[in-house]
């Protein structure tokens, strides 16, 4: 279990995150919904080690991941909204930067690369890929280390229904294998794949009981 305790972040005079508290259990997907600029990406960036908080801890088995970068890199994979791929290379060459040769071959034929449908465009240059293809390839690269926890920033943004289905299928498989996911989005459609739901507004993270009550959720967000 990962426990976020009183994580706060300030930019100049503005508190973007205020005493964030949340528990993430194994085989669970936690969804955090918020409008653009609500602090969702800031929270994931802190957990991934990209940003430092003003205060707070992220406890995993008595270890603070915010102070243990070695353990954090072993446990966590971060899939940002913007593509981290090398545009000049094709999909396969990007994957080779992350995978050992033998492991890569296995993942292409029957593993995560096949599950995400990346095997269908291995020879295409990244610059020629659609947004959905880039997102699926980014996920395939990020999970090469077999992380326990995935941090996913707007995984369905600008994607068609087929690409969304591929990503949701992978999320389900990651949970089945004992993994956990924190998914942040401004798209209510992503909430359906999540087991627990939160709303991030004005720097405050609040639990929300989501039962397709979209109108109520929108009222909270605005």
Q: What is the pLDDT of residue 122?
A: 95
In the chain, the domains with their CATH numbers are: 2-221 (3.40.50.300)
Per residue in 138-192, pLDDT (tens digit) is 999 999 989 999 999 988 877 888 888 888 888 999 999 999 999 998 777 788 8
- On whether the CB atoms of residues 121 and 91 are closer than 8 A, the answer is yes
What whole-number distance in Å separates Cα of residue 208 and Cα of residue 95? 38
Per residue in 91-146, pLDDT (tens digit) is 999 999 999 999 999 999 988 899 888 999 999 999 999 988 998 999 999 999 89
Q: What is the pLDDT of residue 221?
A: 66
32: three-class secondary structure by DSSP: strand
What whole-number distance in Å separates Cα of residue 55 and Cα of residue 197? 24
Q: What is the pLDDT of residue 219?
A: 63
The model's pTM: 0.88
What whole-number distance in Å separates Cα of residue 165 and Cα of residue 13? 41
196: three-class secondary structure by DSSP: strand
């Amino acid at each position: 279990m990962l426990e976020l305790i009183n994580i706060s972040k300030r930019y100049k005079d503005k508190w973007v995150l205020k005493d964030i508290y949340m528990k993430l259990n194994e085989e669970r997907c936690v969804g955090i919904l918020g409008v653009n600029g609500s602090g969702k990406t800031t929270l994931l960036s802190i957990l991934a080690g990209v940003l430092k908080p003003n205060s707070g801890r992220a406890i995993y088995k008595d270890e603070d991941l915010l102070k243990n970068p070695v353990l954090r890199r072993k446990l966590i994979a971060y899939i940002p909204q913007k593509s981290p791929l090398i545009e000049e290379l094709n999909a396969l060459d990007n994957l080779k930067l992350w995978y050992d040769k033998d492991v890569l071959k296995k993942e292409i034929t029957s593993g995560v690369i096949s599950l995400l449908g990346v095997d269908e465009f291995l020879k295409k240059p990244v610059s020629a890929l659609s947004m959905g293809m880039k997102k699926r390839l980014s996920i395939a690269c990020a999970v090469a280390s077999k992380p326990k926890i995935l941090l996913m920033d707007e995984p369905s943004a600008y994607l068609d229904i087929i690409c969304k289905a591929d990503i949701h299928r992978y999320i389900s498989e990651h949970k089945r294998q004992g993994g956990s996911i924190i998914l942040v989005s401004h798209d209510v459609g992503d909430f359906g794949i999540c087991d627990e739901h939160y709303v991030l507004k004005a720097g405050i993270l609040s639990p929300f009981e989501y039962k397709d009550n979209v109108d109520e959720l929108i009222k909270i967000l605005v």
